[in-house]
Amino acid sequence: MPYILPSQRMAFFFSPKSGGTSLRAFLFHVENGIAFRPFLVQGKPMDANALVANYRFNRTDHAGLSQYRRFALLRDPVKRFLSGYANRVLHYRELSIEAAGQALLQEGLPPDPDLATFVENYVAYLRCSQPMARHFLKQQKFIGTDPGYFEHIFKLEELEILTSFVNTTCGTKAQMPWLQKGTPKFDFFALEEDLQFQILDICRHDIAFDIFPEYWAPYADWILPDVTPAQSEIARVGA
């Protein structure tokens, strides 16, 4: 579900690895007048992600939001993909022996893959981990396919616009924190050319490229091959 502000009649949709952790904390500040900080529930640490789970768009109660102002947050799909690998594979080690050993064995895949190995076996690795598969779904799975559903769609790269808009609208002075820091950063343009092509082919079906053509501009010089059956499976799994 989106993060809903009932008093303000506003709803915010977002995808994993698209600034959702920071957005949750910011909207908590807007709603409560105090900055969010991690807390414990019966000894279990809870971060901003515990505030709301962003379910798939088709699981949302859209009738209940018919009178709400609806907004979405999108990210450059290539940067989102690389961030997802850094966060879920390197940081949380969701493809480690401990987390996915049996599934990796069945697929004949090495654990803790480097980026090239992960990309080469992308579909098979996603079969090994439900959390991984969810995080790598295309953004349309979380915001839908109709941009007209929203009053405005913000870009992660322009969070200050979202922050200013919400604070002005709600009469608040909430701060947008930058959370989920500390994971490795990958420069797409520093990668091997074959790896660049593979990543672009995985990401090119993301709706963010349609809504914001400027997202595709840095990659416009890449001429991608026609979609093969194997690539069609990639699109299906990650669509």
Domain range annotation of the chain: 3-238
* Per-residue confidence (pLDDT) for residue 14, from 0 to 100: 96
pLDDT (tens digit, 0 to 9) for every residue of the chain, 239 residues total? 899 999 999 999 999 999 999 999 999 999 999 999 999 999 999 999 889 988 899 999 999 999 999 999 999 999 999 999 999 999 999 999 999 999 999 999 999 999 999 999 999 999 999 999 999 999 999 999 999 999 999 999 999 999 999 999 999 999 998 866 657 889 999 999 999 999 999 999 999 999 999 999 999 887 665 544 344 444 444 55
Structure tokens at 76: 């450059």
φ, ψ for residue 198, nearest 5 deg: -65, -45
* Per-residue confidence (pLDDT) for residue 216, from 0 to 100: 94
Amino acid present at 207: I
Q: How far apart are CA 65 and CA 22, in angstroms?
A: 23
CA dihedral 195, 158, 153, 84 (to 10 degrees): 30
Structure tokens at 197: 């092509």
Give the burial string for 170-183 (b: 16+ CB within 10 Å, else e).
bebebebbebbeeb
